[in-house]
Amino acid sequence: MQTALIVGAGPVGLTLACELARYGISVRIIDTAAQRTDKSKALIIWSRTLELLDRGGASAPFIDAGFKALAVNMIAGEKAVGHVSLHNIQTPYPFGLMLPQSETERLLDLRLQSFGISIERQVELLSFTNSPHGIEAVLQRADGHQETLSAGWLLGCDGAHSTVRHSLGAPFTGETNKSDWLLADVHMTGYRRPDSEASIHWHRDGVLVIFPICPGRYRVLADLPPAGTERPPTPTLEQVQTILDTRGPGGQNVFDPIWLAGFRINGRKVSEYRWGRVFLLGDAAHIHSPAGGQGMNTGMQDAFNLAWKLALVIRGVCKEELLNSYTPERSGVGDKVLKFTGRITTIGTLRNPIAQKLRNTLAHFLLSKSLVQKRFAENLTELAVAYPCSPLNGSSLSGDSLKPGARVAPVARQAPIGSGSIPRFALFAERTPQVADLLKQFEELLDPNLRPAMSAKALHLVRPDGYLACSASSTTPIGNYLSKLLK
Ligand SMILES: Cc1cc2nc3c(=O)[nH]c(=O)nc-3n(C[C@H](O)[C@H](O)[C@H](O)COP(=O)(O)OP(=O)(O)OC[C@H]3O[C@@H](n4cnc5c(N)ncnc54)[C@H](O)[C@@H]3O)c2cc1C
């Protein structure tokens, strides 16, 4: 079997390794770093990521270790402008799971070890060749020892400064935001909201964001005027206190900082995620504003999207063309995430007093509408991610509100779609002799367990990652769809 070489054991490389391992694919995963990050970096695991983790039966340890955030408040001065609650969204996980990235990586690493795979640490990818037949990768250990590894596929999960992306010469287009930002993970007293709610304060000087990490511990984010230094300066605890006093409601006291950092926002993305036998995922493919905590989640979902396709190709079940859907699907999502996070950042950091006033009035009006609240919550939690223009989309039943490419919400008390050890499509249909024949004919691709029909006489075919592939009123279009995928 062809080996998949994963470069980078951050949250994205680890997610991909776990998915491929559960599908029985031979995996090597390397990382230059001697140990995983000890920083909290990405703090939120959103609902859609939890649903996708659940397919491998992996969400429980994360839920046990994390803290549930249930709502976000927008506040301008003393006035509550909006309150977006997550409890109405249709998912088994109606919350943002607050969990430091160091913990997320620890739990993913533990899961990977349960498949008998260890991260090869202090191993660096130096260079590689990418031919239609395979990859030759030059790896170097900390002692200088070099190895040339032949692999079937190379997965670049090596972060924002990706060696894989640089070696491919893939343009990483976009820009760096001029403002400096302050990040502080601190202990704090006097938080005015329930500990399960985040607060975004729009102040005339800029934005102040307070996220609960767990009771008594918070992440504080704020934009600052550009310092004009080469690197953004590391803030002091006094600076954090001053920002809270100026932009917050007052009465909050910070102490015992856990992590203080300065950063600048880059919005950059590649347009091609697939380069022959090489793929880019996570920060190697896209970086953007941390507003909305989308970065790590988007990267992990790149991994969920690619893993089942690659596993079916490596197992020799599907044609290699299946992999061509990775770029249009995930690059499309990346573009939307860049736009969404950029927009939230721009809105929060408006400086013009007239624009600020207009923003506050408009936001108050819009966020009082339940439909706007729902849309915002679905975007934030990434439940809105869909692939409406995917080349993988097949036929659609006329009048059916569920269109190909849409997420099919998991149903409580049913095994999640794609939960087996081989990636398989799920069929929602009544059992008829024709349906029984279809299951037999495509046993390599179809889950043998039928799901209840979504509507009378309708058949819905759902991908292993829980998005609708096609719908029809007979088995013929479903069979044609599956035949096209088979090798
Ligand atoms: C200060 C800060 C705050 C953040 N806050 C948030 C947040 O609130 N929400 C959010 O969603 N995101 C946040 N992020 C971003 C989030 O951390 C990233 O999106 C996430 O880490 C991306 O994961 P990744 O696996 O793609 O890359 P990384 O986590 O960067 O992992 C890449 C790995 O590749 C390894 N590597 C690199 N080159 C090589 C090579 N040549 N050979 C072998 N190994 C290599 C590195 O050692 C590293 O371990 C934050 C980031 C920072 C820095």
- DSSP symbols for 288-308: ---TTS-HHHHHHHHHHHHHH
CA of 272 to the centre of ligand 1 (A): 20
pLDDT surpassing 90 at residue 282: yes
Mean pLDDT computed over 31-57: 95
Query: What is the token pair recorded at 268?
Result: 């950059």
Is 32 touching ligand 1 by the criterion CB < 6 Å? Answer: yes
Q: What is the pLDDT of residues 148-162, one digit of tens each?
A: 999 999 999 999 999
Residue 428 and residue 451 in contact, taking contact as beta carbons nearer than 8 Å: yes
Centroid of ligand 1 to alpha carbon of 262 (angstroms): 16
Q: Is 292 in the pocket of ligand 1 (CB under 6 A)?
A: no
Q: Which atom of ligand 1 is nearest to the CA of 263?
A: 1
Distance (angstroms) between ligand 1 centre and the Cα of 172 equals 16
Ligand 1 centre to CA of 128 (Å) is 22
- 42 in contact with ligand 1, CB cutoff 6 A: yes
Q: Which domains does the chain have, with CATH numbers?
A: 4-43+100-174+267-348 (3.50.50.60), 178-264 (3.30.70.2450), 386-487 (3.40.30)
Q: Which atom of ligand 1 is nearest to the CA of 261?
A: 1
| Element holding 85 (H helix, E strand) | strand 79-85
Q: Using the predicted structure, report yes or no on whether residue 227 has a pLDDT greater than 90.
A: no
Would you state the pLDDT for residue 182? Answer: 95
| Average pLDDT, integer, range 420-426 | 93
46-50, 361-365, 391-395, 437-441: lowest mean pLDDT where?
361-365
C-alpha dist (Å) from residue 144 to 5, 35, 148, 431: 20, 18, 13, 61
Say how far apart CA 309 and CA 364 lie, in whole Å: 43
Q: Are 109 and 62 in contact (CB under 8 A)?
A: no
| Residue-wise pLDDT tens digits, 4-39 | 999 999 999 999 999 999 999 999 999 999 999 998
Whether ligand 1 lies within 6 angstroms of the CB of 299 is answered as yes
Using CA atoms, how far apart are residues 466 and 308, in angstroms rounded to an integer? 11
Residue 473 has pLDDT above 90, yes or no: yes
Which amino acid belongs to residue 264? R
CB atoms within 10 A of CB 194: 12
- Residues forming beta bridges with residue 218, ordered by sequence position: 186, 212
Does the beta carbon of 137 sit less than 6 angstroms from any atom of ligand 1? no
Q: Is 124 in the pocket of ligand 1 (CB under 6 A)?
A: yes
Rounded Cα gap, residues 418 and 136, in angstroms: 32
Atom 50 in ligand 1: residue holding the nearest Cα: 41
Mean pLDDT score across all residues of the chain: 95
Q: Is residue 412's pLDDT more than 80?
A: no
Cβ of 9 closer than 6 Å to ligand 1, yes or no, is yes
- Whole-angstrom distance, CA of residue 384 vs CA of residue 43: 20
Residue 48's SS3 state is helix
Pairing of strands 153-156, 278-280: parallel
Span from the CA of 233 to the centroid of ligand 1 (angstroms): 20
Per-residue pLDDT of 126-156, as tens digits, reads 999 999 999 999 999 999 999 999 999 999 9
* β-strands 27-31, 120-121 pairing: parallel
Distance (Å, whole) CA 303 – CA 481 = 24
Ligand 1: which residue has its CA nearest to atom 51? 41
Residue 168 scores a pLDDT above 80? yes
pLDDT at 178: 77
Q: Which of 146, 158, 182 to mutate to test the pocket of ligand 1 (most atoms within 8 A of CB)?
A: 158
- Compute the distance between CA of residue 255 and CA of residue 483 in angstroms, rounded to an integer: 62
What whole-number distance in Å separates Cα of residue 84 and Cα of residue 88? 10
Distance 135 CA to ligand 1 centre (A): 24
Instruction: Kindly indicate the confidence band of residue 245, based on its pLDDT and cuts at 50, 70 and 90.
Output: very high
Q: Give yes or no for residue 418 having a pLDDT over 90.
A: no
Element (H, E) at 427: strand 426-428
Cβ of 382 less than 6 Å from ligand 1: no
220 CA → ligand 1 middle, Å = 20
Q: Is the CB of 394 under 6 A from ligand 1?
A: no
CB 64 within 8 A of CB 190: no
Put simply, whether the predicted model's pTM sits higher than 0.85 gets the answer yes
196 Cα to the center of ligand 1, angstroms: 26
Report the alpha-carbon distance of residue 201 to residue 204 in Å, rounded. Answer: 10
Alpha helices in 132-186 (DSSP H): 163-168
Can you give the pLDDT at residue 1?
81
Strand, coil or helix: what is 79?
strand
